């Protein structure tokens, strides 16, 4: 029988790996592929429903016009396109471009909101205009074009590379990047979760040590890790892992970063952090977290040397963001344009957001509004509001029991940053307060580990919870395809 004692919370030695079978790493990949199929099918069905809805609305509008106005109306050529569809004659790409809203066109079931901007960056590059510039307004959608510098460059760069190599359209290239990244992220996060459960959850480790190994069975540690990965891939906000958003690549970087921390691979962690800082705003936090974990876990005896090396790691971790800022300075003479452009949403850390976030009554009122005073019930908004109030409660009650130091830090940071920065989002401020909290919480690894640990202890609950979660996942994918706001 192996030693079942758990390592100290701030142990210096690398965390031990449980015994493994190579084929178990195929299981999270299979789950991710299933997620891709469900998300794609549900989003396409939602897209079809949205197209039918648009066509019916257009026909109704057309038939309410008198014959003279009908001939002069700008919707007349659009109605001819609709009639062509009803007769079974498909619209070519040019007609779809002219007569259908963007997200209901063929192949665009995963493009909405941010997805348009990543595609725009691939096709046109970054565009930045100050408020007085007449080019601020897009001639098609009338939205401020200064905003596309808000989106960090890693994801569109990868999409551009895939587009260039394969010849795929930009929208398809972005979807391919997302799908590849979520499969890899599921496998890496599975490895991270296995190590965590083996080293940090006594019940799982004890059961794993006494488990009689069979050729094709799954060990208790693998079971616990699979529960966690399944909750990652099939929760209501998981559609963003499969759509044209940065969630999948960020999750891959986050899981890889955690694996490096578990193994005390400090230099590799710094390089991953550098890449993450070019992915999205939350990636900028990898550097400070790496420096802190290194200071606490490193076995380097020289204290001054430890601080010096932590500083070096922090500098390396920031190079991705620094490179983007250099590009913005050379191109637009404004190194922090990505921060200035956020003012369009009233997003960021300022006096208004701090005052709103620091008063918990605001968050509770926000949740109660969608839970009890919204009719008909808006399920995506309710889920989004739940992600504002539930994570800190779970982390406070169960975090110390089930999480390592690294997971607990990420649990709080991945919730806390959007909680503060999005507290007064919208125009006017607060109009869409705490928008996208469901999407931001989808990558909260601390909450996922806690949920997996609870399911390990109460396995009878797993089929019910996973079924409900998967059903909501499919519903949200369908609504995403319809163009509805889901976070």
CA distance 198 to 225: 10
Name the E strands within 199-291: none
Please, which pLDDT band fits residue 172 given cuts at 50, 70 and 90? very high
Q: What is the mean pLDDT of residues 154-167?
A: 96
Do 370 and 382 form a contact (C-beta atoms < 8 A)? yes
In 3D, which of 183, 280, 196, 177 has the Cα closest to residue 448?
196
Please, what's the largest Cα pairwise distance for the chain? 89
Q: Residue holding tokens 């200071």? A: 295
CA distance 186 to 34: 12
- What pLDDT is recorded for position 3? 43
- What pLDDT is recorded for position 397? 92
DSSP letter for 212, please: -
Q: Pick 447 or 345 by higher pLDDT.
A: 447
CA distance 47 to 380: 17
Q: What is the pLDDT of residues 130-153, one digit of tens each?
A: 554 544 444 444 444 456 888 999
Q: Residue holding tokens 């940071």? A: 413
- What pLDDT is recorded for position 141? 42
Q: What is the mean pLDDT of residues 98-104?
A: 64
CA distance 158 to 170: 10
Beta bridge partners of 144: 137
Do 4 and 206 form a contact (C-beta atoms < 8 A)? yes
Q: What is the mean pLDDT of residues 290-313?
A: 91
The pTM score is 0.89
- What pLDDT is recorded for position 319? 96
Residue 168 makes CB contacts below 8 A (sequence gap 6+) with 162, 176
- What pLDDT is recorded for position 456? 83
CA distance 333 to 9: 47
Do 425 and 349 form a contact (C-beta atoms < 8 A)? no
């Amino acid at each position: 029988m192996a030693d079942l004692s758990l390592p100290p919370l701030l142990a210096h030695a690398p965390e031990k790996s449980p015994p493994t079978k190579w084929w178990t790493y195929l299981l999270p990949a299979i789950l991710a592929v299933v997620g891709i199929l469900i998300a794609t099918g549900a989003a396409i069905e939602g897209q079809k429903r949205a197209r039918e809805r648009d066509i019916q609305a257009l026909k109704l509008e057309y038939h309410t016009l008198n014959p003279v106005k009908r001939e002069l109306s700008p919707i007349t050529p659009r109605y001819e396109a609709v009639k062509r569809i009803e007769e079974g004659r498909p619209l070519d790409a040019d007609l779809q471009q002219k007569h259908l809203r963007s997200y209901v066109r063929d192949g665009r079931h995963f493009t909405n909101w941010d997805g348009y901007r990543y595609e725009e960056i691939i096709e046109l590059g970054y565009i930045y205009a100050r408020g007085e510039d007449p080019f601020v307004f897009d001639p098609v959608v009338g939205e401020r074009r200064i905003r596309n510098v808000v989106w960090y460059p890693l994801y569109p760069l990868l999409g551009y590379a895939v587009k260039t190599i394969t010849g795929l359209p930009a929208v398809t290239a972005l979807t391919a990047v997302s799908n590849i990244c979520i499969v890899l992220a599921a496998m890496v996060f599975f490895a991270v979760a296995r190590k965590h459960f083996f080293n940090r959850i006594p019940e799982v480790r004890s059961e794993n040590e006494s488990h009689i190994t069979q050729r094709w069975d799954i060990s208790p540690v693998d079971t616990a890790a699979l529960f966690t990965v399944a909750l990652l891939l099939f929760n209501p906000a998981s559609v963003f892992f499969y759509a044209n958003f940065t969630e999948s690549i960020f999750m891959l970087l986050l899981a890889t970063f955690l694996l490096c921390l578990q193994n005390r691979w400090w230099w590799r962690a710094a390089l991953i952090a550098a890449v993450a800082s070019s992915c999205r705003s939350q990636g900028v936090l990898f550097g400070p977290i790496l420096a802190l974990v290194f200071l606490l876990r490193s076995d380097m005896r020289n204290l001054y040397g430890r601080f010096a090396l932590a500083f070096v790691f922090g500098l390396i971790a920031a190079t991705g963001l620094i490179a983007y800022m250099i590009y913005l300075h050379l191109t637009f003479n404004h190194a922090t344009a990505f921060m200035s452009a956020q003012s369009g949403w009233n997003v960021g850390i300022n006096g208004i957001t701090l005052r709103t976030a620091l008063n918990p009554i605001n968050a509770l009122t926000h949740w109660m509004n969608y839970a009890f005073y919204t009719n008909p019930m808006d399920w995506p908004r309710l889920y989004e509001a739940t992600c504002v109030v539930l994570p800190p409660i779970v982390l406070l009650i169960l975090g110390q029991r089930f999480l390592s130091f690294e997971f607990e830090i990420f649990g709080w940071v991945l919730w806390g940053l959007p909680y503060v920065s999005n507290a007064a989002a919208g125009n006017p401020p607060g109009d869409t307060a705490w928008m996208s909290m469901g999407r931001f919480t989808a990558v909260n690894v601390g909450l996922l580990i806690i949920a997996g640990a609870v399911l390990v202890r109460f396995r009878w609950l797993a089929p019910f919870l996973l079924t409900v979660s998967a059903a909501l996942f499919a519903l949200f994918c369908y609504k995403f395809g319809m163009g509805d706001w889901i976070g």
